[in-house]
Structure 1
């Protein structure tokens, strides 16, 4: 739908405000120059993009679908918006843009939570725990 969306953004006079980047390999850079990360998805499990935004310390607004509510605590580590509700999504974006201290606090909390839950060291420890548990169960059969 890229071509249709590009035409729509031009028709609405938004061509200087809406960008279609396509595939990118510089996500950390893009996050570093962003204020808010928005994921208005209709279906999602555990979005890596939200995890990257959290670790980068960005305020995240995402749809309340799938596993997203498990990684965002509404009002604490981000904002959950009803899937498909464009008006509520717009309200959330505008609220964060107008309330910078709150936006920055969400980003700080998200980063703290993300580093606690998504760090490579934690991931290795969790995998080791799975193996240790399996070995323990096997030995005690």
Structure 2
């Protein structure tokens, strides 16, 4: 897969994402469901701990990608949902560290929501990946 970033402005690069990417020569595309802070049985973890929830949601996303033979470097689009925007931004380095290890800066949207499907969850991340 060939990726060409599109950034008419540079401000988003400081936050770790491109405004857009042109994708060419795609063999496979993976559409992931939203990943949250749950264990292998689907039980919520890290109640009242945004940093813990973000880290586990990212680990769960990596597990889905790995099961498909991919990694964070294959992500072409991120949608992030949070019930507390300020708390999420305070701990955004969790995502930066995960994606930074792959030098990945996929286009993303961060959206504040009233609640997620399970009331104790505060953070959800969904992705599209390709190779």
* Superposition TM-score tier, normalisation by shorter sequence: under 0.3
Higher helix share: 1
Relative CO higher for 1 or 2, CA cutoff 8 Å, sep ≥ 6? Answer: 2
Task: Tell me the TM-score normalized by structure 2.
Answer: 0.26
Task: Tell me the TM-score normalized by structure 1.
Answer: 0.25
The structure number with the bigger radius of gyration is 1
